[in-house]
Amino acid sequence: MRAPALPKLQEPHLASAGRTPRKDRVAIGGNLSSFLSEKGNPSYHYRPQFHRVTIAALVIFMYAWLVPVGLWGFLTWRQGAERQIGGYSFLETVCVYGYSLFIYIPTSILWIIPFEWLRWTLILVAMVISGSVLVLTFWPVVREDTKVMAVATVVTIVVLHTLLAVGCKMYFFQTEVHVPSAAPITPTINMTIATKAH
């Protein structure tokens, strides 16, 4: 007689696999934002843009993995060039980038609100919070390097992070400006009908 199989325990990072990942929330939020901003416009026909989910997943996945890989490789190389530089492991670098992106989850939900000034305010707040996590984490590692290299590394981190945030805002949450068309002007034609008297 066989013993009953024990249930598999899920690792904490796999437990949320049934939920919508944060990269999909950006694209879904952009679709919902477009729908809400055009609500009441009789000439607008809503079409879900599922291709944006794929693009969001690709961009955020590449940013969350390739940028930390590049930074970790650069810091490891600099650690070999300058022995006094300490560093983070590859996993720690990826985790820092993942944690820094957390603020974009509530931000992308709030981007649904169709006020452009609010969206830009939210993006600035999210960029400052997220960018400060990266700068405060990596500055102690790079400050022991030459001043030029340390500043260039931090500026590159901030610029890449800004490009991601502004790029997501511009691609997924850009509202189209509709100029109402003027009512067609129909010329009035005065016609006089002449009748013959018999």
Least confident residue range of 114-128, 132-146, 179-193: 179-193
Instruction: Return the HEC string of the chain.
Output: CCCCCCCCCCCHHHCCCCCCCHHHHHHHHHHHHHHHHCCCCCCCCCCCCCHHHHHHHHHHHHHHHHHHHHHHHHHHHHHHHCCCCCCCCHHHHHHHHHHHCCCHHHHHHHCCCCCHHHHHHHHHHHHHHHHHHHHHHHHHHHCCCCHHHHHHHHHHHHHHHHHHHHHHHHHHCCCCCCCCCCCCCCCCCCCCCCCCCC
Confidence at 11, pLDDT banded by 50, 70, 90: very low
Of the candidates 59, 78, 57, the one whose C-alpha atom is nearest the C-alpha of residue 148 is 78
Q: Above 90 in pLDDT, residue 155?
A: yes
Q: Give the Cα separation of 127 and 166 in Å (integer).
A: 9
The segment with the largest mean pLDDT, out of 48-57, 102-111, 131-140, is: 131-140
Residue 55, pLDDT score: 83
Other Cβ atoms closer than 10 A to 5 = 6
Q: Give the Cα separation of 7 and 96 in Å (integer).
A: 32
Average pLDDT over residues 145-151: 89
Q: Give the Cα separation of 79 and 40 in Å (integer).
A: 59
Query: For 31-41, how does the pLDDT look when each residue is reduced to its tens digit (9 = 90+)?
Result: 556 656 666 66
State percent of the chain over pLDDT 70: 59
Confidence at 57, pLDDT banded by 50, 70, 90: confident
Q: Where are the domains of the chain?
A: 19-172
Least confident residue range of 57-61, 91-95, 159-163: 57-61
